[in-house]
Amino acid sequence: MNNADLVAEVANQTSLTKNTSMKAVDRVISVVGTSLGGEGKITLVG
């Protein structure tokens, strides 16, 4: 699954537009990258 696929799936499973879904996905990826770059830890369950 690439970024465009993920955005489309988020839009399909929520009431968000593709544009809003893209912003949300981009923000999550940015936060994860920042956390991991700063020696942080991310745990995704479920």
Which residues constitute the domain of residue 8?
Answer: 3-37
Would 42 be classed as within a structural domain? no
Q: What angle, rounded to 10 degrees, do the helices at 18-37 and 3-13 form?
A: 120
Element (H, E) at 44: none
In the chain, the number of structural domains is: 1
- Give the pLDDT score at 39: 79
Would 45 be classed as within a structural domain? no
Whether residue 41 is predicted with pLDDT greater than 90 in this model: the reply is no
Angle, CA of 46, 29 and 19, to the nearest 5°: 100
Per the model's pLDDT, the better-predicted residue between 38 and 36 turns out to be 36
Would 29 be classed as within a structural domain? yes
> Measured between alpha carbons, how far is 26 from 7 in angstroms, rounded to an integer?
9
> Measured between alpha carbons, how far is 37 from 25 in angstroms, rounded to an integer?
18
Would 14 be classed as within a structural domain? yes
pLDDT digits (tens, 9 = 90+) for 7-36: 999 999 999 999 999 999 999 999 999 988
The structure's pTM equals: 0.79
Whether residue 4 is predicted with pLDDT greater than 90 in this model: the reply is yes
Would 25 be classed as within a structural domain? yes
Would 44 be classed as within a structural domain? no
Q: Given pLDDT bands bounded at 50, 70 and 90, which one contains residue 2?
A: very high
Would 30 be classed as within a structural domain? yes
